[in-house]
Amino acid sequence: NAGVTQTPKFRILKIGQSMTLQCAQDMNHNYMYWYRQDPGMGLKLIYYSVGAGITDKGEVPNGYNVSRSTTEDFPLRLELAAPSQTSVYFCASSYASLQEETQYFGPGTRLLVL
C-alpha cells in the first residue's frame, strides 16, 4: 500500500492564481482530512469528509473548497491564492471504529504564495 499520497510536493503561486492540491489514499478509509501547518505552529483542520459525497468545514475553511467524489480521492481547491495561504498542507485519512481511530498523514505539500 502507498498509504496517503499528495501532489505536488512544492508549488509557488502568484496572488490570485488558483490550484488544486491532490490527495489519494489506498487504504479504503472512510474519513479524510485536510490540515494546514504554519511555521512553528500546530496543524489546523481546513475541511474533512466522512465518506464519498459528504464534506464539512473544519476550523479554517475560508479560501478553500473540497470535493469527495470517490473514497480514494479528496482534492483541496484554492480559488484565489493569497499570501496568507502560504503554508504546508497535510492530507490525512482514517478508518474509525468504536475502539480506536488512527489518522495516517501524507508527506505534505509546501505552498508559497507571492
Partner 1 sequence: LAKTTQPISMDSYEGQEVNITCSHNNIATNDYITWYQQFPSQGPRFIIQGYKTKVTNEVASLFIPADRKSSTLSLPRVSLSDTAVYYCLVGDIGGVTGGGNKLTFGTGTQLKVEL
Contacts (CB under 8 A) with partner 1, residues 33-92: 33, 35, 40-45, 48-50, 56, 58-59, 90, 92
Closest approach of partner 1 to the CB of residue 106, in Å: 6
Q: Measure the CA–CA gap between 36 and 67, rounded to whole angstroms.
A: 17
Q: How many CA atoms lie within 13 A of 14 on its CB side?
A: 0
Rg (CA), the chain: 13
Which residue lies nearer to partner 1 by CB, 14 or 98? 98
- Other beta carbons within 10 Å of 28: 10
Q: Which residues bind partner 1 (CB under 8 A)?
A: 4, 30-31, 33, 35, 40-45, 48-50, 56, 58-59, 90, 92, 94, 96-108
